[in-house]
């Protein structure tokens, strides 16, 4: 489940390596002819600024929250809840079923933002899971089975106020 935790760090690490490479290239052309030097330096500055912009998008694009993996009883599958808050336009909650140690992910639930929390997911057996969702006015957009795991979606009972 390596990719569960480290994908933002991997992307930002690759961007830092790209920035270092472009800075090195910027420095190495200092003894070249004027036109080559200017072209490479302008191109390097452009690529560094694009890399920084992509890094900012990866790290600050939206406010998202990820749950810890919820493993099946035999630890063959894992489920993770990913919530994306998109501000005034709403957001979404996606529940993803992972297999092959996190290398393969299939969405099994998609609903409104905050519709599912990690405590709303319960493994019934090794190949059956129950997803209790909130927001009775908005039924889930997707509730499907995947990879041999049967998914049951039901509306959670709200406490009486």
Distance from C-alpha of 88 to C-alpha of 94, rounded to nearest angstrom: 19
**Residue 16 pLDDT more than 50?**
yes
Tokens standing for 20? 């270092």
Q: What is the pLDDT of residue 1?
A: 45
Q: What is the pLDDT of residue 111?
A: 84
State if pTM tops 0.75: no
Higher-confidence position of 106 and 48: 106
Contacts of 123 (CB under 8 A, 6+ apart): 70, 71, 72, 73, 129, 130
Report the residue count for the chain: 161
pLDDT per residue over 20-72, tens digit each? 887 788 788 888 888 888 888 888 888 778 877 877 776 665 567 888 888 99
Lowest-pLDDT choice from 77-81, 101-105, 114-118, 123-127: 101-105
**Residue 2 pLDDT more than 60?**
no
**Residue 13 pLDDT more than 60?**
yes
pLDDT per residue over 113-140, tens digit each? 888 888 889 999 988 999 888 876 677 7
Q: What is the pLDDT of residue 129?
A: 92
Q: What is the pLDDT of residue 41?
A: 82
SS3 of 44, please? helix
Mean pLDDT calculated for residue range 98-116: 84
Are 121 and 129 within 8 A, CB to CB? yes
Half-sphere exposure of 19 (CA within 13 A, CB side): 14
Mean pLDDT calculated for residue range 133-156: 81
Longest Cα pair distance anywhere in the chain, in angstroms?
77
Distance from C-alpha of 125 to C-alpha of 128, rounded to nearest angstrom: 5
The H or E element containing residue 78 is strand 78-85
Mean pLDDT calculated for residue range 96-117: 85
């Amino acid at each position: 489940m390596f990719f569960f935790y480290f994908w933002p760090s991997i992307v930002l690490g690759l961007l830092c390596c790209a920035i270092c490479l472009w800075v090195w290239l910027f420095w190495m052309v200092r003894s070249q002819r004027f036109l080559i030097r200017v072209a490479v330096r302008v191109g390097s500055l452009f690529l560094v600024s694009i890399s920084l912009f992509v890094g900012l998008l990866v790290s600050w694009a939206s406010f998202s929250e990820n749950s810890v993996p919820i493993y099946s009883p035999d630890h063959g599958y894992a489920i993770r809840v990913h919530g994306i808050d998109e501000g005034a336009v709403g957001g979404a909650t996606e529940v993803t079923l992972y297999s092959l140690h996190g290398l393969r992910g299939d969405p099994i639930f998609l609903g409104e933002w905050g519709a599912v929390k990690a405590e709303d997911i319960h493994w019934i057996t090794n190949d059956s899971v129950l997803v209790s969702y909130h927001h009775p006015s908005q039924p889930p957009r997707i509730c499907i089975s995947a990879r041999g795991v049967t998914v049951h979606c039901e509306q959670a009972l709200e406490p009486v106020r």
